[in-house]
Amino acid sequence: MNPEDKEALSAWIDGESEALEERRLLRDHDARELAQTVARWQVIGEVIRNTPNSSLEPKRRRAQFGSIQQALVQIQTQSPAAENSQVGRAHAHGRQFRWYAVAASLTLVMAIGALMPQDMPSSPIASQSNDQVSAEIAARQPIFVSAGDVSSEDLDELSLNPELRALDEASRAQLRAYLQQHDQLSQLATQQRLVSYPRTASKDQ
C-alpha cells in the first residue's frame, strides 16, 4: 500500500477521510489486506486509552476478521431459497400484525357501538355490513389476541425489524384515528353507528 493510501486509511479509521478516498481504498484494497495495519493501529489506541483488549492481540484480531469474513461468505452462498423463506417469514409476520391491528380496531369500534344508547334506530345496512365484516375477520384471524399468544420471538422481530415496527405504529395510528372519528360522530348524535372501514368496504363493493 502506498503512503498516500495508508494515510487515507488512518484518516478513515478516525472517520475523517473524504468520500473519494474511501472509494479509492475500497477499489484498490481488500479489507483482508488492510486488517493487519488496522489491528495494530487499534492496539495503539487502546494502549493510549489504557484499555487494552486483552483478548484480541493484532494476530488474533486478524484471525477473527478472517473468520467473520468466512462466515459472511457462507451466508451469501447459502441457498437463495433459505433467504427467500426468511423474507417470506418477515412478510408473514407483517401480515399477521396488520390483521391483528384491523381485528382489534373493529372489535373496539363494535364494542363502543354496542355500549351506546339503544334509543336510536339502527341502520339495517350498517348492521348487515357489520356482520359481514365480523364474519370475514373471524374467518381470517382470532379477534382477541392475548399477550401469551405473541411469542417473544415475535416481539423481538417487532422490535428489531423497523419495517414491522413502522407497520405496527401505522396500524395503531389508524386505530386511534378511527376511534377519534367515532367519538366525534357519537358526540354529534348522528345516526351513524359504525365508522365505515375503507378496506373492507371496498371488498364489500
Positions touching another protein (CB under 8 A) are 6-7, 10-17, 19, 22, 25-26, 30-32, 34-35, 37-49, 51-58, 60-61, 64-65, 67-69, 71-72, 75-76, 86, 160-163
Question: Is the distance from CB of 199 to CB of 171 less than 8 angstroms?
Answer: no
Q: How far is the CB of 141 from another protein (least distance, A)?
A: 25
User: 167-193: b or e for each residue (b if 16 or more CB lie within 10 Å)?
Assistant: bbeebeebbeebeeebeeebeeeeebb
Q: How far is the CB of 62 from another protein (least distance, A)?
A: 10
Tell me the closest approach of the beta carbon of residue 7 to another protein, in angstroms.
4
Q: How far is the CB of 35 from another protein (least distance, A)?
A: 6
Instruction: Check if the beta carbon of residue 72 is closer than 8 Å to that of residue 169.
Output: no
Quick check: 191 and 120 in contact, CB under 8 A? Answer: yes
CB 5, CB 25: distance < 8 Å: yes
Q: Which is nearer to another protein, 60 or 199 (CB)?
A: 60
| Least CB distance to another protein at residue 54 (A) | 6
**CA 117-123-126 angle, 5° bins:** 105
Whichever of 58 and 129 has its CB closer to another protein, that residue is 58
Closer to another protein by Cβ: residue 57 or 129: 57
Which of 46/126 has CB closer to another protein? 46
- Give the span between the Cα atoms of 38 and 48, in whole angstroms: 15
Residue 19 vs 111, nearer CB to another protein: 19
